[in-house]
Structure 1
C-alpha cells in the first residue's frame, strides 16, 4: 500500500483529491492539511511514501516543505501541484529533488499514475511545463534573484520579503538592486512584468 500525504489549501480540492486517491486499491491517504506548517510537521513525523504538495499555501509553500524533506534526507517522494508554469518555481523544485511537478488542471488519472511512478524511482514533470522552461528566453537572473522577485509579486516591504526567505533586509535589497540592474529597470513592477513575459518567474 502506497501511503500518501496531501497538502492543499483549497478545501474542496483537498477533499476531491483525497477521495480520488482513496478510490485506488493500492493507495491510501494517511493525512492531509490546508496549512503549510502543519503539513511540514506531519510529513516529517509520518514520513509518507509520497507527499502531494500545493505550491502556494499559508505559512509554508510546497517548495519550502520539499526543501525540508530534501535536507532531512527522508525517503518521502514529493509531487508538486501548481497553477503556475513559472521557471523560478520549477528550477527550485528541481533543486529540491522533487519527483513530480504537475499542473492542477491535469486529469486526475495523471496524478494517480505519477504517485505510482515516483514510488518506483521515476519522475513525472508536466510536458507543458517542460516546454515552457525550454522555450523561455535566456534568463539573466540567478535562482536566488528569481526567488526574491517571486516573493515581490505578492507585495510587502523588503523586511517582509526577507523574513519569508530567511534573509537579512540588506541582502534582499542587494538582490533587488542586482535584478534592476540586469533588467535595466527602476523598480519592482517593471522587473516583475519583464520576468513574467519571459517566463523567468
Structure 2
C-alpha cells in the first residue's frame, strides 16, 4: 500500500482528493490536514510514503513544508499538487526537495500515475508546466531581491522594510530598483505582482 498524507487548505478539494485516492486498491489516505503547520506533526504520527502538498496554505506554505519534511522525514516523498501552474513554483519546489509537481486541473489518472511514479522512486512533473518552465528559465531575482519584494508585498515604507530585513534603507532601495528592472515593472507594486505571478516569491 502507498500511504498518502493530504495537505490542502480547501476542505472540498481535500475531501475530493481523498475520495479519489481511496478508490485505488493500492493507495491508503492516512492523514488529511488543512494548514502547513499541521503537516509535519501529522507526518510524524502517520509515517506516510507520499505527502501530497498544496503550495499556498495558511501557517506555512507548501514549499517550506516540503523542505521541512525532506529534512525531518527523508523517507517521505513530497508531491506538490496546486492550482498555480507557475514555472517559478516548479523550480522552487524541486530545489526544496519535491519529487513531483502536478496541477489540480490534471486528469485524475495523471495524479494517480504521479503518486505511483514518485512512490517508485521516480520524479513526475506536469508536462505542460515542465515545457513552460524550460521556456521561461530560472528566476532572475537574487535571494535578497526576492526578500525585499516579499517585504514590499506587505506594504509599509522603505524604512519599515529595512527594519524588518535588517538592512539599511539605501540597500533596500538598491534591491528594489534592481528587482523592478529585472521584472520590467514600473513600480514596486507591479514588480511584486510580476514576481508572484511567475512563482518567484
TM-score by length of 1: 0.81
Alignment of 1:1-201 (within 5 A): 1-136=1-136, 139-143=139-143, 145-146=145-146, 149=149, 151=150, 155-157=153-155, 169-170=165-166, 174=171, 177-184=174-181, 187-195=187-195, 199=198, 201=200
Change (3 A) 1:39 1:138: closer
8 Å contact kept, 1:101–1:125: yes
Change (3 A) 1:42 1:147: farther
Deviation at 1:180, TM superposition (A): 2.5
Deviation at 1:40, TM superposition (A): 2.5
* Larger CA deviation: 98-107 vs 40-49: 40-49
8 Å contact kept, 2:145–2:178: no
Q: Distance in 2 between matches of 1:81 and 1:175?
A: 34
The Cα offsets for residues 140-192 of structure 1, whole Å up to 9 and x where unpaired, read as 3135644654x468x42469xx9xxxxx5225975674242253367421313
Deviation at 1:53, TM superposition (A): 0.4
Please report the RMSD computed on the Cα atoms of aligned residues, expressed in angstroms.
Answer: 3.0
Change (3 A) 1:200 1:7: closer
The Cα offsets for residues 35-58 of structure 1, whole Å up to 9 and x where unpaired, read as 111122211332200000011111
The Cα offsets for residues 47-102 of structure 1, whole Å up to 9 and x where unpaired, read as 20000001111101111110101222520010001122223322211112211101
8 Å contact kept, 1:79–1:99: yes
8 Å contact kept, 2:144–2:175: no
Any unmatched runs of 5+ in structure 2?
A: none
Any unmatched runs of 5+ in structure 1?
A: 163-167
Larger Rg: 2
Aligned to 1:165: none
The 3-state SS of whatever aligns with 2:32 is strand
8 Å contact kept, 2:2–2:50: yes
TM-score by length of 2: 0.81
Deviation at 1:195, TM superposition (A): 3.8
- Paired positions, count: 192
Q: Distance in 2 between matches of 1:7 and 1:172?
A: 38
